[in-house]
Amino acid sequence: MQHLDDDLQSSVTRGSDGLGAMIMATARRPAAMSPALAAFGRQFKRYRDRAGLSQARVGQRTGKTASFVSQIESGKKRCRREFVEIMDPELKAGGVLLNLYDDLNGDGALGFPTWFDWPEVEGEADVLVTWEHSVIPGLLQIEGYARTFLGTDEAVVARLARQEILRRDPAPVTLIALLSEHVLHHYVASRKVMRQQLEHLLAMSELPNVTIQIVVNDDGAPAGNGGSFVLATMKDRSEVAYLETTVRGITSDDAADLVEIVRTLDSLRSSALPASMSRELIKKVMEEKWT
């Protein structure tokens, strides 16, 4: 196949165990943090690094220790708003850190839900592996399809803007999308939208950095019923996962979560059609059901 190099392609085709080994090799130790604090800490560190300030310098400026700053950035400790009020201008964040602090500690109304820091992660990832059992992943949705699930124009614009990471030049993100065959059959918006959506899937699958594989349940044992997820492999080979729950999504780098994802991916891969056969199935459903 021409979509990925041989090592990456072999990790996602039927029966391969390369991807699970890669994840196991890079999974990190458990981190004692909440998703909200981790989200704020990552953003704070990015701005500190861009400003060229050390943790010790931030500590001096705020009357704290470098260890305190380190725990803020690792998501292990909560800071007061006064801390952010001092450092937002110091780090030339333009109010972003203050807004994020307020959003993660309140009921902000952004294009993404208040707990959703994932767009920042996926934009900096090297490889994304996503599993969806009921809907097309957001990175592959067309506007008409996305609008069915989102309540505002701002949210639709935000979702579509995220998709630019797949086409940016240079260094587009590599996406491996494992989709249940049921996703192709679930009625969303209208028959016209469904046909356009499957046409879009086919077009996206032709990109050199995008692989779409359909997971079939021909053995009577459906896989991945625990929920959808996305696994991001960062450029330093660390792993971060976005896990769907009934109430909200959770961003996690907890080793226990990553191990569970490895197990699920092993099961999904065993039922995943190769990319070429997946395209044929998408075409077949499009022509037979959504014409």
Residue-wise pLDDT tens digits, 5-16: 333 333 333 333
Task: Provide the pLDDT confidence category of residue 18 given band limits of 50, 70 and 90.
Answer: very low
Compute the average pLDDT of residues 256-274.
Answer: 90
Which of 47-51, 62-66, 116-120 is least confident?
116-120
- Neighbouring-strand partners of residue 179: 132, 214
CATH code linked to domain 6-32+112-289: 3.30.870
Q: How many CB atoms lie within 10 A of CB 238?
A: 12
Q: Is the pLDDT of residue 54 over 50?
A: yes
How much is the pTM? 0.66
CA–CA gap between residue 291 and residue 277 (Å, rounded): 20
Provide φ and ψ at 235, rounded to 5°.
Answer: -65, -25
Neighbouring residues of 268: CB distance < 8 A, sequence distance ≥ 6: 131, 178, 215, 223, 224
Provide φ and ψ at 219, rounded to 5°.
Answer: -105, 5
Q: Is the pLDDT of residue 24 over 80?
A: no
Report percent pLDDT > 70 for the chain.
Answer: 80
Q: Is the pLDDT of residue 221 over 70?
A: no
- Confidence (pLDDT) at 117: 63
- Confidence (pLDDT) at 239: 85
Neighbouring residues of 133: CB distance < 8 A, sequence distance ≥ 6: 180, 182, 183, 222, 224, 225, 228
Q: Do domains 6-32+112-289 and 35-104 have the same CATH topology?
A: no
CA–CA gap between residue 132 and residue 70 (Å, rounded): 35
Q: Is the pLDDT of residue 170 over 60?
A: yes
Answer yes or no: are the C-beta atoms of 213 and 179 closer than 8 Å. Answer: yes
CATH superfamily of 35-104: lambda repressor-like DNA-binding domains (1.10.260.40)
- Confidence (pLDDT) at 35: 61
Q: Is the pLDDT of residue 27 over 50?
A: no
CA–CA gap between residue 180 and residue 221 (Å, rounded): 12
Residue whose structure tokens are 């990456």: 8
Task: Provide the pLDDT confidence category of residue 55 given band limits of 50, 70 and 90.
Answer: very high
CA–CA gap between residue 112 and residue 221 (Å, rounded): 34
Mean pLDDT for all residues in the chain: 82
Q: Is the pLDDT of residue 201 over 70?
A: yes
Report percent pLDDT > 90 for the chain.
Answer: 54
Angle between helices 66-73 and 35-51 (to 10 degrees): 120
Sign, CA torsion 201/159/37/40: positive
Answer yes or no: are the C-beta atoms of 164 and 209 closer than 8 Å. Answer: no
Q: Would you list the domain boundaries of the chain?
A: 6-32+112-289, 35-104
